[in-house]
């Protein structure tokens, strides 16, 4: 069994290679619990598969729509792990989940269209839809007593121009999985109003033992004709820098539009051979590694949840999925952005602020903390957060 101990975290390598608010971008001594990217090296099998391919010595052009084996491996993994029925001809390997979202939006949205995006959620929904010319309407998320999303007034946010709804399942940054009845309801709405669903399942393998992931695609091919899905490898397998992801759907006509929008047929766009080799290794050989990784993350989640809820001015829900915590810090007398700046300067720990930039206005008063590290680093990071917050609350 793979171990996820401090020994595995190679700080010297991370300081050279881990960008996007992480080790390579921080001042010496700062612990980054920032971008959702693991501190552990990717599973060994990926490096082995890449080395073997590289030693073959050829790096020729690849099939424009991706290696058949990549698609077959994806179809098998989606069926086995999530009960999704996908046709390999309707899978497009692509250079990242972010690119997949962009291609989906470009394929079906045009200027004047509207799109509905939950608030909060990862910024890529809004940015990809806006890049296609759509006007994004934000649906402010509210919750029922049992913690599920309250959809009572969602139809007030849908107009005759609404052509797409963004679904982040599991949800980043809230860490929620959607119950089947909510997914059924979103499909009802998509049928009633005729909009597409941009279904992002990049987090669907990081799900804890007290929750169950349900894919909207598992609710049947017939009902999912307007569902356009994205899957990625950056979170589960730690290969964000290889830029690998894929898009899949049920409708051949829309699939062709996505292929056109991705520019793979022109050879301007496309995913590299090495990224696909890595993706195949993930799908065929790395789910055992992933299950151990999720078990480690679950320990970190429970530890961080207890600690955060003991800090003054902080309230934190327990994520069912993802490796991010999203505590409410509105009890601390400064904005989330100011708090993040303060913690970085005074305590040398970096976290991500809620607010418009990353997750939408509904995330004000929150911060996001990444758990994908060793328990030692997480403990030291949380010690620093706690020390900073305690000082602030004493001064208040």
283 is an interface residue for ligand PLP by CB under 6 A: no
Beta strands in the chain (DSSP E): 31-32, 91-94, 114-119, 135-140, 162-168, 196-200, 227-232, 245-249, 324-325, 349-350, 352-353, 367-370
198 versus 332: smaller Cβ distance to ligand PLP? 198
311 versus 340: smaller Cβ distance to ligand PLP? 340
Smallest gap from residue 192 Cβ to ligand PLP (A): 26
Residue 7: strand, helix, or coil: helix
Residue 78 neighbours by CB under 8 Å, 6+ apart: 84, 86, 215, 217, 231, 248
**CA-wise closest residue to 183 among 232, 224, 222:** 224
Sole binder of ligand PLP in the list 62, 73, 96, 106 (CB under 6 A): 96
232 is an interface residue for ligand PLP by CB under 6 A: yes
172 is an interface residue for ligand PLP by CB under 6 A: yes
124 versus 164: smaller Cβ distance to ligand PLP? 124
**Positions 23 through 62 that interact with ligand PLP (CB under 6 A):** 36
Sole binder of ligand PLP in the list 240, 246, 343, 349 (CB under 6 A): 240
Tokens 């909060």 belong to which residue?
120
* Whole-number Å distance between alpha carbons of 51 and 277: 10
70 versus 386: smaller Cβ distance to ligand PLP? 70
103 is an interface residue for ligand PLP by CB under 6 A: no
> Pseudo-torsion of CA 216, 222, 224, 225, nearest 10°?
170
CA angle 114, 234, 24 (to 5 degrees): 110
201 is an interface residue for ligand PLP by CB under 6 A: no
98 versus 369: smaller Cβ distance to ligand PLP? 98
Residue 111: strand, helix, or coil: coil
- Each residue 202-231 as x (binds ligand PLP by CB under 6 A) or -, in order, gives x-----------------------------
* Whole-number Å distance between alpha carbons of 206 and 123: 20
User: For ligand PLP, which stretch binds (CB under 6 A), given 76-84, 94-102, 313-321, 340-348?
Assistant: 94-102
168 is an interface residue for ligand PLP by CB under 6 A: yes
177 is an interface residue for ligand PLP by CB under 6 A: no
262 versus 313: smaller Cβ distance to ligand PLP? 262
98 versus 136: smaller Cβ distance to ligand PLP? 98
Residue 130 neighbours by CB under 8 Å, 6+ apart: 136
* Whole-number Å distance between alpha carbons of 11 and 22: 11
* Whole-number Å distance between alpha carbons of 383 and 389: 10
**DSSP bridge pairs for 230:** 200, 247
Sole binder of ligand PLP in the list 18, 103, 104, 124 (CB under 6 A): 124
200 is an interface residue for ligand PLP by CB under 6 A: yes
Residue 94: strand, helix, or coil: strand
369 is an interface residue for ligand PLP by CB under 6 A: no
Other beta carbons within 10 angstroms of residue 10's beta carbon come to: 14
DSSP 12: H
How many residues touch ligand PLP (CB under 6 A)?
14
Residue 56 neighbours by CB under 8 Å, 6+ apart: none
Cβ atoms 130, 109 nearer than 8 A: no
Smallest gap from residue 396 Cβ to ligand PLP (A): 33
122 is an interface residue for ligand PLP by CB under 6 A: yes
User: For ligand PLP, which stretch binds (CB under 6 A), given 72-80, 91-99, 181-189, 289-297?
Assistant: 91-99
Smallest gap from residue 239 Cβ to ligand PLP (A): 9
DSSP 135: E
- Residue 353 CA, distance from chain mean position: 17
363 is an interface residue for ligand PLP by CB under 6 A: no
**Positions 302 through 341 that interact with ligand PLP (CB under 6 A):** none
Sole binder of ligand PLP in the list 245, 319, 353, 360 (CB under 6 A): 245
90 versus 321: smaller Cβ distance to ligand PLP? 321
Contacting positions for ligand PLP (CB under 6 A): 36, 96-98, 122, 124, 168, 172, 200, 202, 232, 234, 240, 245
């Amino acid at each position: 069994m793979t171990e996820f101990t401090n020994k595995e975290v190679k700080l010297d390598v991370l300081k050279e290679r881990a960008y996007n608010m992480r080790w390579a971008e921080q001042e010496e001594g700062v612990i980054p619990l920032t971008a959702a990217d693991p501190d552990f090296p990717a599973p060994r099998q990926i490096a082995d598969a890449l080395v073997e391919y590289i030693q073959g010595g050829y790096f020729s052009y690849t099939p424009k729509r991706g290696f058949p084996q990549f698609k077959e491996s994806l179809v098998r993994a989606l069926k086995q792990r999530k009960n999704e029925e996908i046709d390999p001809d309707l899978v497009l390997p692509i250079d990242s989940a972010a690119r997949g979202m962009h291609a989906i939006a470009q394929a079906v949205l045009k200027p004047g269209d509207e799109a509905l995006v939950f608030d909060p959620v990862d910024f890529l929904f809004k940015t990809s839809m806006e890049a296609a010319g759509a006007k994004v309407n934000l649906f402010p998320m509210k919750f029922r007593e049992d913690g599920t999303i309250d959809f009572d007034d969602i139809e007030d946010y849908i107009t005759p121009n609404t052509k797409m709804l963004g679904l982040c399942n599991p949800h980043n940054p809230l860490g929620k999985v959607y119950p089947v009845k909510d997914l059924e309801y979103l499909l009802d709405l998509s049928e009633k109003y005729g909009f597409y669903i941009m279904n992002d399942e990049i987090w669907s393998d990081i799900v804890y033992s007290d929750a169950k992931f349900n894919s909207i695609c598992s609710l049947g091919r017939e009902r999912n004709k307007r569902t356009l899905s994205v899957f990625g490898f950056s979170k589960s397998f730690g290969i964000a820098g290889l830029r690998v992801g894929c898009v899949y759907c049920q409708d051949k006509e829309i699939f062709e539009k996505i292929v056109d929008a991705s520019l793979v047929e022109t050879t301007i766009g496309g995913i590299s051979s090495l990224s696909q080799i890595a993706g195949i290794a993930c799908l065929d050989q790395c789910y055992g590694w992933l299950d151990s990784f999720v078990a480690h993350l679950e320990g970190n989640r429970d530890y961080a949840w207890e600690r955060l809820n003991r800090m003054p001015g902080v309230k934190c829900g327990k994520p069912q999925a993802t490796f991010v915590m999203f505590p409410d810090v509105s009890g601390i007398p400064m904005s989330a952005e100011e708090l993040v700046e303060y913690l970085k300067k005074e305590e040398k720990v970096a976290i991500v602020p809620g607010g418009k930039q990353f997750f939408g206005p509904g995330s004000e008063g929150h911060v996001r903390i990444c758990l994908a590290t060793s328990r030692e680093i997480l403990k030291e990071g949380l010690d620093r957060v706690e020390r900073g917050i305690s000082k602030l609350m004493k001064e208040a």
